[in-house]
Amino acid sequence: MWAKTLNLLLFIIVLGVSSCKEERQRTSENTSIKNVNYMEPYRPQFHFSPDSMWMNDPNGMVYHQGKYHLFYQFYPDSTVWGPMHWGHAVSEDLLHWKHKPIALYPDELGYIFSGSAVLDEKNSSGFGTESNPPLVAIYTYHDPEGEKSGKNNFQTQGLAFSLDNGESWTKYQDNPIIANTEDIRDFRDPKVMWHEESSSWVMTLVAGDHAQFYRSLDLKNWELSGEFGKHVGAHGGVWECPDLFKIKVQGSDEEKWVLLISINPGAPNGGSGTQYFVGDFDGKTFVTDQIEHKWVDWGTDNYAGVTYSNAPEEKRIFLGWMSNWAYAQSTPTDRWRSAMTVPRELSLHKDKDNEGFELYGYPINQFDDIVSKKSSKSIEIEPGAKEVDDYDNLNQSEVRFETNSNEFTMELGNSLGESLILEFKKDTLRLNRSNSGKTDFEKAFGEIVQKMPMPHLDSIFEVRMILDWSSIEIFIDKGKYVMTSQIFPNENYGQLSFENKSNQIMSVQNLEVSEVKRTWPTN
């Protein structure tokens, strides 16, 4: 009993010290931002990454007054996971980011786990006014002492609000707003939206192996309205980081609802991944007749992704954490760890059989603004032949082309003999990073050949690859098939080759290899 009491007292003292140090930490944080030059080995040049230390899930993604807010799981004292805070950054275009002070610190209720933020435009919460509506963040409290004691109810939901467009936050005095009365061990990651049809707020929350839906009129008082997923979808691991949204089917007036669910482990290529369901939502619960397991991204390094609230033109803009829990804490970076994916616009399409739906993900239009276009060329490759070209630096580039072949191999290599191999074989893409550079930091990183099925490729399809020092994102057929993977070459890739594996002439049309501009300021 005394040991438990002592542990609790120590925890409270640590939190108190953290609060007392807040202003000093913010000052130190701002100083470190001025000193960093974003040129460390493997540092992304146009993806979002933290100034320093550990980052994982994107949180609280909301657009307001011309700014995209990105909050994220952040531990300011180490490059491995620890007591979670909400880091904060803002951008006007989703590409050029400005770091802000930490938004939410742990307190006596626990660490600040993942969640979401909304603009309470009608001031339903009463935290603001009609002329100055609040931003409201809803997140999970994770009580480490409760977890250590063996209890299952150590995760609850909390709320904070801001009246100055996210510059400062006030935690709600009556937290938690949703207690864990059912003793659910994994009870977290609230994603909140406004449901126009029922004139109510809707929260999607994960509860271990399924999603729960809650309704509220004021963002403070919630009631359970429905559940989904206990016997649907992939269940190789815990369900996490849900997102529920309505989206129009391309080329029609039909609207459907999409539910994103991250899962760890249990992804198709091992470790972490994000599945999606297409169905209907009546304001209380979600239903689908989907049987097939569908994935937002087939690569190993896109997890916990969600979409922006209140985005202009009601676009569904997605960001994911570009890592995998199988090796996230071991990747070979020193000052910082982890990055986010390129922002992607999601769109929903009928599949070729007209029987189901496919969720596409493709870089936002404004990404083209940071691509320095090079002249394009077209080549034809005889069966069994190989085309090799040299470039200055492929590690900060975009490679685009169209082809009529689904049997060929692409290889990106350097003078050290390291190479990243992409093998297109009929209806499957295989990515092999076993000799791509540093891989020995974690056995799981280099061993698995990642596979992506592509059963409905067009006869001529686009391949678009975006490389940024320690990552490659591959978009096939305008985002119908997507694969994201981390890579850590010891030297820049400077060679790109195509090898025709078919018995017909391979046509590579409009091949463009372009530099992508750096988006971080030079201090």
Residue pair 143/155 in contact (Cβ under 8 Å)? The answer is yes
- Helix axes of 2-20 and 22-35: crossing angle, nearest 10 degrees: 60
Residue pair 446/388 in contact (Cβ under 8 Å)? The answer is no
* Side-chain-side CA neighbours of residue 110 (13 Å): 23
pLDDT at 410: 99
pLDDT at 10: 41
Which is higher by pLDDT, 373 or 343? Answer: 343
Residue pair 263/257 in contact (Cβ under 8 Å)? The answer is no
> In the chain, pLDDT over 70 holds for what percent of residues?
93
C-alpha–C-alpha distance, residues 363 and 248, integer Å: 18
Phi, psi of 455 (to 5 degrees): -75, -20
pLDDT at 523: 64
> Among candidates 21, 24, 18, 188, which has minimal Cα distance to 107?
18
Please give the biggest Cα pair distance in the chain. 78
C-alpha–C-alpha distance, residues 211 and 228, integer Å: 5
- Model confidence at 3, pLDDT cuts 50, 70, 90, reads very low
Just list the catalytic residues.
57
> In Å, what is the CA distance from 368 to each residue of 199, 286, 320, 400, 514?
38, 36, 20, 12, 11
- Model confidence at 36, pLDDT cuts 50, 70, 90, reads confident
Q: Is the pLDDT of residue 392 over 80?
A: yes
pLDDT at 37: 85
pLDDT at 375: 78
Residues 198-223, mean pLDDT to the nearest whole number: 99
Using only C-alpha atoms, what is the Rg of the chain? 23
Residues 375-402, mean pLDDT to the nearest whole number: 96
pLDDT at 373: 81
Output the CA torsion sign for 69, 71, 77, 79: negative
Q: DSSP secondary-structure letter at 347?
A: E
pLDDT digits (tens, 9 = 90+) for 132-165: 999 999 999 999 999 999 999 999 999 999 999 9
Output the CA torsion sign for 19, 23, 28, 33: positive
Q: Hey, what domains does the chain have and what are their CATH numbers?
A: 54-365 (2.115.10.20), 376-515 (2.60.120.560)
Q: Is the pLDDT of residue 212 over 70?
A: yes
pLDDT digits (tens, 9 = 90+) for 157-208: 999 999 999 999 999 999 999 999 999 999 999 999 999 999 999 999 999 9
**CA dihedral defined by 392, 395, 401, 404, rounded to 10 degrees?**
110
